[in-house]
A and B are shown apart, each in its own frame.
Chain A
């Protein structure tokens, strides 16, 4: 039996619970519901589906802390992934608001917390670690076939993290963090002096690596990213080197395939505390939002110009996604759900919940 827990808040949620979830995919124009990995106040791990007013929600208890997620095109499913070094991914059925499948990474493998579907919603691409040789992989699963494992595509590197599908539908863009960990050693980072992070482009059919761009410092761990409709990629780094140094934390791969790092003012870079979490494009403009939980802030950038638009305080800023209207929804590890738009002076608090949101919104 799958363990499931449905929590409803207030009487209002009863009415909302009867209306179907809105799923305009792949980039939902209007967001009604968000999915996120969360912890409750006592440290229990859940996958939450939350309406934007924060009132209606359901929570599915899971055995390990989860991290990122993705929606399955042309379906009512969302998939959420266990946080490194977790071994499960969970398929959520949005209509019944229940767990539909749990897929295990298998003996000798763990996931990194992210995955993405192809445009048809059939194949699911998931970043994983093969423990025997620390090989970073993209594992392929067939959703049309009960999420059967199809094949593995090696990345010739360590520690792949978030990945997205490029607008051509054939290319995956992958943040390769470069950090070696092993469950025997817990969360110890085993190779800080020999890290080789990269932003990688891979043919999703053949597994061929089409491009590999190295950050300007070998301890800039490339983790999270998003892709604009024109194919521009913005990725965020986490710096694993001396915290008294300042290095660029955001890179861009433009639509022509040119790789660069954004030259933000030093004080802006320093305010991020070497750590970025979510990256989200607006999809109706060239604006992109980056969250920085350690810096307690979000940055809004013009991806085309490579310039900072605004930097706003937001405590423990965690997950982010576009709201379909040029703005963004941002979650906080402290429970708040906010809306951030390019023309507001401060994030607008939409709801405050007694949960701790993990780093990503789906």
Chain B
């Protein structure tokens, strides 16, 4: 309850301080990116609060309808995160927030180990305990374990320990995403004033497409030199892998494309923006035609072919942005600069 009040108070202040409107005639690409992403973070924060509320309702009186509502709210908050995941700089880097929301890939099943550790703990955790623990327990994958893992068949989610853990995680998530939204607003002045963020934003979107192609589809599907491994897929427990991919593509459509188009228009290269939009729409259509899981497609030839088509569409999209558009805009990506050492 305290946490909720704290968030409300800060949110109100942030709204007062926010610029009235960016929707003027001469909106720059960075202004467009900043305001579009602001809305995406706002949606992530709101969806996380809905998830927190439905977790609390379910725990007060567990039944099938409330459980369904809980699962729906978990997915929609997770999808809201996917939509804005193409921003890999700024406030999301603070305190490893991106990792807090989604620890993945999880080759050692740290999520499962952490959840089970807390389920067996003598004292149920609160949000503060979760905030002080590992990124493996702090985000959507830990909630997914509680909602979908086979091991949870033995332990009803409505039991006190499981419910307390779930509520603590959803409260931590709501706190994190609320702070992220607030900090993105505060970050605006610096983002708009610093020309280098144009390149940073482009590079971040390219990296997102590379991750989509290589890590989120290529590796679990066995297209990157090693055998297919469904456990490397995101959201394999719930079978929502492809829906998350789709949400990331939709997030690029609403959050990234408008600023990119403005940037390419300034550079006199509007046809490239149109080509990117067309390929993005084609890829989105391809994604929406696939069923939601990746693991199930590994044993289903027709479904696998569909995912291969999606993979190829994303690959073309990545090429368009990472090669043709990057070259047009003079973007050169560093070798040593992308990863601190």
Contacts and interface: CB of A to CB of B under 8 A. Distances in A.
Interface of A: 39, 67, 83-84, 113, 184-190, 192-193, 221, 223, 238, 241-244, 273, 275, 277, 293-294, 296, 315-316, 318, 333-334, 356-359
Contacts of A190: 96, 134-135
Interface stretch (B15-23, B56-64, B226-234, B329-337): B329-337
Nearest to B196: A273
A197 to B, nearest CB: 13
Interface in B246-279: none
Contacts, number: 78
A292 to B, nearest CB: 9
A277 B91 CA distance: 23
Contacts of B103: 185, 188
A346 to B, nearest CB: 18
A293 B341 CA distance: 11
A84 B341 contact: yes
Interface in B186-222: 186-187, 189-190, 196
A27 B90 CA distance: 41
B187 A244 contact: yes
Given A242-B94, A243-B89, A244-B190, A184 B337 contact: no
Nearest to A359: B336
8 contacts: A185-B110, A185-B134, A188-B96, A192-B96, A243-B90, A244-B187, A315-B334, A358-B335
Contacts of B94: 192, 241-242
B289 interface: no
A52 to B, nearest CB: 21
Contacts of A242: 91, 94, 183
A223 B340 CA distance: 10
Nearest first, the 9 A-B pairs at minimum CB distance are A333-B335, A244-B190, A356-B335, A293-B336, A293-B337, A316-B334, A294-B337, A333-B336, A188-B99
B6 interface: no
Nearest to B183: A242
A189 B334 CA distance: 21
Interface of B: 89-91, 93-96, 99, 103, 105, 107-108, 110, 134-136, 183, 186-187, 189-190, 196, 332, 334-337, 339-341
A293 B187 CA distance: 23
Contacts of A333: 334-337
Contact of A334 (B107, B183, B332): B332
B336 A277 contact: yes
Contacts of B332: 315-316, 334
A187 B89 contact: no
Given A189-B96, A192-B95, A316 B135 contact: no
B225 to A, nearest CB: 12
A186 B335 CA distance: 19
A237 to B, nearest CB: 11
Contacts of A187: 339
Given A242-B94, A243-B93, A275-B337, 14 more contacts: A39-B335, A83-B341, A113-B341, A185-B99, A188-B135, A193-B95, A242-B91, A244-B190, A293-B335, A294-B337, A316-B334, A318-B336, A358-B336, A359-B341
A316 B336 contact: yes
